[in-house]
Amino acid sequence: MRAVVTGAEALELVGPLPHGFDPAGAGGRTAVFRVLAVDEVRFVGDPVALVVGDTVAGAEAALDAIRVDYEVLPAVVELDQALADSAPRVFEDRADNVLMRVPYSAGDAEAALARSPMS
């Protein structure tokens, strides 16, 4: 095994993952995502360590030696549940789970509904 890197150690090596779009530029909030989780994971599969080995077998042995204690928290998998005031927060320092709100409208909704065979 060459190295095992934890999330805390990765903070010294690499910054947050780059965004293709920063919501702060449109009135939203920037979310910081790290290469490896630090102190808490936000979703199943959130990476917590990186292993580098001289061989696949060596790297797999190092992976097997890693122990992580997780506190299982309530999961939210439906949008309406995630938006509820009582929902667990993805980011604890946020008042809600909304990254940004973008109002959108086009055309005349009332006229479209009046013409619709489903109304």
Q: What is the pLDDT of residues 61-87, one digit of tens each?
A: 999 999 999 999 888 999 999 999 999
Domain assignment of residue 55, given as a range: 3-104
Tokens of 41: 């994971």
Domain membership of residue 95 (yes or no) is yes
3-state secondary structure of 6: strand
Q: What angle do CA 35, 39, 41 make, to 5 degrees?
A: 65
How far is 26 from 60, CA to CA, in rounded Å?
44
pLDDT at 119: 57
The predicted model gives 41-70 an average pLDDT of: 93
Task: State the pLDDT confidence band at 51, using cuts at 50, 70 and 90.
Answer: very high
Q: Is residue 110 part of a domain?
A: no
Tally of structural domains, the chain: 1
pTM exceeding the 0.85 threshold for the entire prediction: no
In a domain, 112, yes or no: no
The secondary structure element, H or E, covering residue 115 is helix 109-115
Nearest-angstrom CA–CA distance, 107 and 119: 17
Average pLDDT, the chain: 90
